[in-house]
Amino acid sequence: MDRANVDTDQIIPKQFLKRIERTGFGEFLFWDWARLEDGSPNPEFELNRPHAEGASILLARRNFGCGSSREHAPWALEDYGFRVIIAPSFADIFYNNCFKNGMLPIRLPEEQVEELFQRAAEHAPYALTADLESQQLTDAHGFSARIEVEPFRRHCLLHGLDDIGQTLEHEDKISQYEAAHGLAS
């Protein structure tokens, strides 16, 4: 997505925020760009082009996810099929919401993001691999970059842990504490 300052209202417009489930938002992703006035797909929109079909990595420009705080934005991206978003910078709340919802936001210097855009244009369809285990981002044409992820967030993503899952990892200690303090039910 060769655009800077993509805000959360573009990611998932407000008229689609009337539900609390975490699924079903993918069809509304980038609605105002992805659809024509009659609701049909916009053939000029990047994600509607054949080479973007089935993509799990979204490449974007700086300040991705800016604007109002809405957890629905990562929900929509994930529901659409994205697992990784690469950009030079992200809005802080959006960045944190990605991790909390099992997505990997990767910050790369603008020069490397520009290189990835060029490679994607030269090698369409373009395949990029984000290996969280080895913390490497690679392609089949010689690109390689280190992925910097805090150890705790990396652990949570690798083990599919959300806030509840993190708590349940310590269930035995919680039970011991409750028993020792007469709190067990």
Domains of the chain (ranges, CATH numbers)? 8-149 (3.20.19.10), 152-185 (no CATH)
Sheet harboring 136-139: ordered strands across?
A: 128-131, 136-139, 144-146
Give the DSSP letter of residue 172: H
Q: How many CA atoms lie within 13 A of 55 on its CB side?
A: 22
Q: Is the separation of the CB atoms in 25 and 75 below 8 Å? A: yes
The H-or-E segment that residue 179 falls in is helix 171-180
Q: What is the pTM of this model?
A: 0.86
- Locate all alpha helices (DSSP H) within 81-170, ordered by sequence: 92-100, 110-122, 151-158, 163-168
Predicted local distance difference test score (pLDDT) of residue 185: 61
* Averaged pLDDT in 10-residue chunks for the chain of 185 residues: 92 85 87 92 92 91 91 92 96 93 95 94 89 94 93 90 71 78 72
Question: Is-cis flag, bond preceding 41, omega within 30?
Answer: no
pLDDT computed for residue 19 by the predictor: 76
